[in-house]
């Protein structure tokens, strides 16, 4: 069941008022999401005979470092369960752990999606449609732990809320997008949240742009005020936030940093059973300026290279991942793909991979171009004049296979700019079953804006040209350009007629190992569930599962939060130690 279906199921439950309690026995493996709540971890079952001793420990006064886990959206079935586990593990290591959730206090958040005009009108009139369910999920998930649980409404008065609402509702678009409050730039966070809501890279043509922005502005003001008041009272030393983007997580992280708290953000990683953790900023941004020394000098051998190649080939189907992008066509023959899309076998082929337009706009700064659309249009225009070459544009599958379907499609942007599309430009739509990796095997080189697939293609010795702010930029792997003129000069050199050099390949394969095996921290406390939006369960087994020494990944996470240790899981050293023993 995907998240959209889950939301529909929840909305139906709310309208019929059939709320079911979390079961006291282990969750069944069939239909366990159907009631909207059964994904919630049952800590009485997980801890077994240790549950009562745990509650006794949780209730005792703590003298250790004070940690606030800002769960906020309790109905996030992919993230909330692990945040309960973080609280248990940190408490066992002496921390004074508190939680913060939204108790229907803000009029907009990440659980909102303007899929069409009707949905947008309902949102503008009533706000998020699943507030009751989301709050109940957070409350059920966190209350059972017996740790201090704070709510946004507890730290803001009615008078403050009214004042902030009036300010938001009388503000214009430019005022909102350029707003600064509480010592931080609120405008960019609000812009990111609203673009995500519209699932677009801009607000063009959105007739409800202003009232939607006003809702997110009000949500940012209320959550910022509440969090500021909470910090004034408790002075938390460590803040843990899922994602660290959008409203309210983005503005909460910014305020925490302003107050000199140690901030850690986290999210699920691609690889099954693993997560990203980052200091001070969302992991998406941390990879852009990560020191090369973090991976360049790590221990390396042929076993490491074989391991990462096995994983990367598994990416062709999502075999080792719980966040799957490409799942079909791994057995396709590239020549069959060539015939299917009509390529001329006598001409060299250049590949192009897009990002989801709204996601790229939020996650990556522009580099050579103002945005991805400008890059796409200039690229197609260039190849229109290069009749000696052909361009294969593979549109990102997540434009349509994500629960938040993009409302601004790359193919539409190309077809609107070119009528007809040049004969030597071939478009593979997002819903095509053509395997991205097999299609790119046809290519002399590949052009990207910011997709991580650029790293994987480099590990296949396919040269990659980067025009945006991709994670491989500046690492001696890709061919990076920083202006439209540089980009054109690079295109003029095509075709390259050669594989990636051994030096660039060596750096690519090493960085891929670092990114997929060292920066994606594995957790032994989870097991797969088989469901897309709640892809794991917390394993049963008592408190010993969460104590120091039981789970290397969990130890690394706790040390990162409490001691600001780097979030690098040095798998290569564990493998070396295993070989020696």
Contact 316, 326 (CB under 8 A): yes
User: What are the residue ranges in the chain where pLDDT is below 70?
Assistant: 1-34, 360-366, 575-581
Nearest 5°: phi and psi at 188? Answer: -70, -35
- Distance from C-alpha of 113 to C-alpha of 110, rounded to nearest angstrom: 8
Interhelix angle 484-492/372-385, rounded to 10 degrees, is: 30
Please name which of 311, 235, 220, 237 lies closest in space to residue 274, comparing C-alpha atoms.
Answer: 311
Round to whole Å and give the CA distance between 363 and 452.
Answer: 12
Name 406's bridge partners: none
Question: What is the signed CA dihedral for 135, 138, 141, 144, rounded to 10 degrees?
Answer: -80
Q: Exposed (0-12), middle (13-18) or buried (19+): which is 443, by Cβ within 10 Å?
A: buried
Query: What pLDDT shows up at residue 1?
Result: 37
User: How many helices, marked H, and strands, marked E, lie in the chain?
Assistant: 25, 17
Closest C-alpha among 38, 11, 47 to residue 531: 38
Inter-residue contact 108 to 128 (CB < 8 Å): yes
pLDDT given for residue 328 in this prediction: 84
Cα distance between residue 364 and residue 347, in whole Å: 33
Return the H-helix or E-strand segment holding 564. Answer: none
Structural element, H or E, at residue 394: strand 389-394
129 Cβ contact partners less than 8 Å away, ≥ 6 residues apart: 7, 11, 112, 122, 123
**Strand partners of residue 314:** none
The residue to which tokens 């469901």 are assigned? 531
CA-nearest of 337, 304, 331 to 317 is 331
Distance, in Å, from the CA atom of 183 to the CA atom of 282, rounded to the nearest integer, reads 19
Three-state SS letters, 279-329: ECCCHHHHCCCCCCHHHHCCCCCHHHHHHHHHHHHHCCCCCCECCCCCCCC
Domain boundaries defined on the chain: 47-287+522-573, 293-518
**DSSP code, position 239:** E
Cα–Cα distance measured from residue 39 to residue 82, given in angstroms and rounded to the nearest whole number: 11
| DSSP 3-state of 150 | strand
List, in order, residues 6 or more apart from 346 with CB less than 8 Å away.
Answer: none
Residues 6+ apart with CB under 8 A from 15: none
Taking CA 48 as the corner, what is the angle to CA 45 and CA 50, rounded to the nearest 5 degrees? 130
Phi and psi of 375, rounded to 5°? Answer: -65, -45
* Helix (H/G/I), strand (E/B), else coil: 98: strand
What's the confidence (pLDDT) of residue 365? 65
The DSSP bridge pattern shows strands 389-394 and 536-538 to be unpaired
Give the residue among 55, 54, 51, 46 at the shortest CA–CA distance from 25.
Answer: 46
DSSP tag of 240? E
**Which of 32, 20, 66, 443 lies closest to 259, judged by CA?**
66
ω before 279 within 30° of 0 (cis)?
A: no
Domain 293-518 has CATH 3.30.565.10: no
Token digits of residue 469? 């702010």
Helices (H), 449-570: 453-458, 484-492, 502-513, 552-563
What three-state secondary structure class fits 264?
strand
- Go through 473-497 and write b for each residue having 16 or more CB atoms within 10 A of its CB, e for each that does not: bebebbbbbeeeeebeebbeebebe
Who's near 86: CB < 8 A, 6+ residues apart?
69, 97, 240, 557, 558, 561
CB 395 within 8 A of CB 428: yes
The dihedral formed by the CA atoms of 9, 13, 19 and 20, expressed in degrees to the nearest 10: -40
Distances from the Cα of 62 to the Cαs of 107, 260, 366, in angstroms? 35, 22, 46
Beta strand extents in 395-485 (DSSP E only):
425-428, 445-448, 464-466, 479-480
The two structure tokens encoding residue 495: 């075709």
Asked if 304 contacts 513 with a C-beta cutoff of 8 angstroms, the reply is yes
């Amino acid at each position: 069941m995907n998240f959209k279906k889950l939301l529909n199921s929840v909305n139906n439950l709310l309208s019929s008022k059939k709320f079911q309690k979390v079961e006291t026995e282990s969750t069944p493996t069939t239909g366990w999401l159907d009631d909207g709540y059964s994904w919630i971890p049952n800590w009485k079952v997980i801890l077994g005979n240790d549950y009562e001793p745990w509650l006794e420990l949780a209730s005792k006064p703590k003298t250790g470092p004070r940690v606030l886990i800002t769960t906020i959206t309790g109905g996030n079935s992919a993230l909330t369960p692990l945040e309960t586990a973080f609280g248990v593990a940190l408490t066992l290591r002496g921390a004074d752990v508190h939680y913060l959730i939204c108790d229907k206090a803000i009029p907009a958040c990440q659980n909102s999606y303007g899929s069409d005009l009707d949905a947008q009108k309902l949102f503008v009139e009533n706000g998020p449609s699943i507030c009751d369910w989301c709050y109940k999920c957070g409350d059920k998930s966190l209350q059972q732990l017996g740790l201090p649980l704070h709510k946004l409404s507890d730290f803001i008065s009615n008078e403050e809320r009214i004042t902030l609402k009036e300010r938001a509702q009388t503000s214009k678009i430019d005022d909102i997008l350029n707003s600064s409050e509480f010592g931080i730039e609120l405008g960019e966070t609000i812009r990111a949240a609203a673009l995500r809501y519209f699932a677009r890279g801009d607000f063009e043509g959105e007739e409800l742009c202003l009232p939607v922005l006003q809702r997110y502005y009000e949500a940012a003001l209320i959550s910022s005020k509440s969090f500021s008041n909470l910090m004034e009272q408790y002075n938390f030393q460590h803040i843990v936030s899922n994602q660290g983007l959008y409203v309210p997580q983005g503005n909460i992280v910014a305020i925490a940093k302003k107050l000199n708290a140690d901030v850690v953000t986290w999210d699920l990683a691609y690889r099954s059973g693993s997560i990203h953790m980052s200091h001070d900023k969302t992991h998406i941004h941390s990879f852009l300026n990560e020191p090369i020394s973090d991976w360049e000098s790590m221990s390396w051998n042929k076993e490491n290279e074989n391991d990462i190649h096995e994983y990367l080939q598994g990416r062709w189907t999502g075999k080792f991942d719980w966040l799957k992008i490409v799942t079909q066509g791994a057995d396709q023959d590239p020549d069959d793909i060539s015939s299917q899309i009509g390529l001329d076998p006598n001409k060299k082929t250049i590949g192009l991979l897009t990002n989801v337009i709204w996601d790229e706009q939020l996650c990556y700064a522009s580099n050579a171009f103002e945005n991805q659309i400008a890059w796409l249009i200039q690229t197609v225009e260039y190849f229109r004049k290069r009749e000696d070459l052909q361009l294969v544009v593979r549109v990102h599958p997540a434009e349509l296979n994500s629960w938040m379907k993009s409302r601004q499609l790359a193919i539409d942007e190309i077809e609107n700019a070119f009528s007809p599309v040049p004969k030597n430009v071939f478009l593979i739509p997002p819903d095509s079953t053509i395997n991205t990796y097999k299609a790119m095997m046809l290519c002399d080189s590949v052009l990207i804006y910011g997709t991580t697939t650029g790293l994987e293609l480099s590990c296949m010795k396919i040269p990659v040209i980067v025009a945006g702010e991709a994670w491989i930029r500046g690492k001696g792997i890709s061919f990076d350009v920083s202006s439209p003129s540089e980009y054109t000069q690079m295109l003029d050199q095509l075709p390259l007629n050669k594989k990636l050099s051994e030096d660039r390949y060596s750096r690519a394969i090493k960085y891929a190992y670092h990114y997929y095996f060292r920066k994606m921290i594995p957790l032994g406390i989870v097991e797969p569930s088989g469901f897309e939006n709640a892809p794991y369960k917390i394993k049963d087994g008592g408190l010993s599962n969460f104590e120091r020494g039981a789970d290397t990944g969990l130890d690394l996470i706790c040390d990162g939060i409490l001691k600001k240790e780097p979030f690098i899981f040095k798998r290569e050293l564990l493998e070396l130690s295993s070989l020696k023993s």
